[in-house]
């Protein structure tokens, strides 16, 4: 990204494929709301630790309506953070200890590896299939291999669907099978759903439809071009 910015500063025409950043700004209504919040004569104080209740209620309503969930998500399970890195740090430190093995796709978001390494977690690198996906079949194969080799068991899985960088997306059936396998094997599933909404008509599903234990990470930054991130706690 640094080199791309240098070339752009030199007047070169650069097509940015190196960073997952929207090319549009925030919607006018969002920008105006931010301006109003910053200019109104009031103190910009702290929220409670989980974020503004009104925002968490709207997030709950969105997930319940968009994914047709039978039971609304309690606001006590929703945490608002600034940036996905903050969400990953909070999620990883909540769910894993140093030395725990966390599964990641062989082609995936690099910061998963960076943050897990910084926290002292081991990584199980799962090879994606010919459709660039990590499904229950690939995860089950690695579980069997590790048991046969008497390696430490996998404690967690972090996976984005649609995927960064491949764009591959699990079908609802594939996501359901993955959730069921994780619950059966006591693997904490962290479902990164930050690219939901950018699916070009393909049916989307959330892990919350198939597991009460899954932890979801999502954001306004990609689909809505705004920089607030939220995630939902499971039972970790």
Per residue in 200-228, pLDDT (tens digit) is 888 899 999 999 999 999 988 888 776 55
pLDDT of residue 82: 84
Q: Look at residue 2 and tell me if it is in a domain.
A: no
| Number of domains forming the structure of the chain | 1
pLDDT at 232: 64
For residue 229, is pLDDT > 70? no
Residue 28 lies in a domain: no
Q: Say what the pLDDT of residue 228 is.
A: 59
Residue-by-residue DSSP string for 134-183? --HHHHHHHHHHHHHTTPPPEEEEEEESS-TTT-----HHHHHHHHHHHH
Strand, coil or helix: 234 = coil
pLDDT digits (tens, 9 = 90+) for 77-132: 999 998 788 899 999 999 999 999 999 999 989 899 999 999 999 999 999 999 99
Q: What is the mean pLDDT of the chain?
A: 90
Question: Residue 182 pLDDT > 80, yes or no?
Answer: yes
Residue 53 sits in which domain range?
A: 47-232
Spatial CA neighbour of 24 closest among 163, 201, 199, 223 = 223
Q: Is the pLDDT score of 53 beyond 90?
A: yes
Q: Give me the CATH number covering residue 67.
A: 3.40.640.10
Residue 160 lies in a domain: yes
pLDDT range class, residue 173, cuts 50, 70, 90:
very high
pTM: 0.88
Q: Is residue 132 part of a domain?
A: yes
Q: 33 in a domain, yes or no?
A: no
Across the range 143-148, mean pLDDT stands at: 96
pLDDT of residue 183: 97
Residue 224 pLDDT: 77
Residue 208, domain member (yes or no): yes
Q: Is residue 87 part of a domain?
A: yes
- Check residue 236 and give its pLDDT: 40
Stronger pLDDT, 42 or 179, i.e. the higher one: 179
220 within domain boundaries: yes
pLDDT value of residue 235: 46
Sheet-wide strand order for 101-105: 78-81, 229-232, 215-219, 188-192, 154-160, 101-105, 122-126
Q: Give per-residue pLDDT as tens, 41-50.
A: 877 788 889 9
């Amino acid at each position: 990204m640094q080199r791309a910015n240098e070339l752009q500063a030199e007047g070169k025409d650069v097509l940015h494929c190196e960073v997952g950043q929207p090319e549009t700004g925030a919607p006018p209504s969002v920008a105006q709301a931010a301006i109003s919040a910053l200019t109104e004569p009031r103190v910009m104080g702290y929220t409670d630790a989980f974020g503004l209740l009104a925002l968490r209620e709207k997030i709950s309503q969105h997930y319940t309506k968009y994914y047709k969930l039978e039971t609304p998500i309690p606001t006590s399970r929703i945490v608002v953070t600034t940036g996905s890195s903050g969400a990953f740090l909070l999620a990883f430190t909540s769910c894993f200890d140093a030395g725990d093995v966390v599964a990641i796709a062989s082609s995936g978001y690099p910061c998963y590896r960076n943050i897990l390494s910084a926290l002292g977690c081991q990584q199980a690198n799962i090879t994606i299939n010919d459709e660039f996906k990590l499904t229950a079949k690939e995860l089950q194969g690695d579980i069997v291999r590790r048991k046969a080799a008497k390696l430490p068991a996998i404690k967690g899985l972090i996976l984005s669907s649609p995927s960064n960088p491949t764009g591959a997306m699990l079908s609802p059936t594939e996501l359901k099978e993955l959730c069921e396998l994780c619950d059966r094997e006591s693997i904490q599933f962290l479902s990164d759903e930050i690219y939901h909404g950018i699916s070009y008509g393909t049916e989307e599903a959330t892990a919350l439809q198939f597991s009460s234990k899954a932890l979801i990470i999502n954001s306004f930054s990609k689909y809505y071009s705004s920089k607030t991130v939220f995630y939902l706690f499971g039972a970790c």
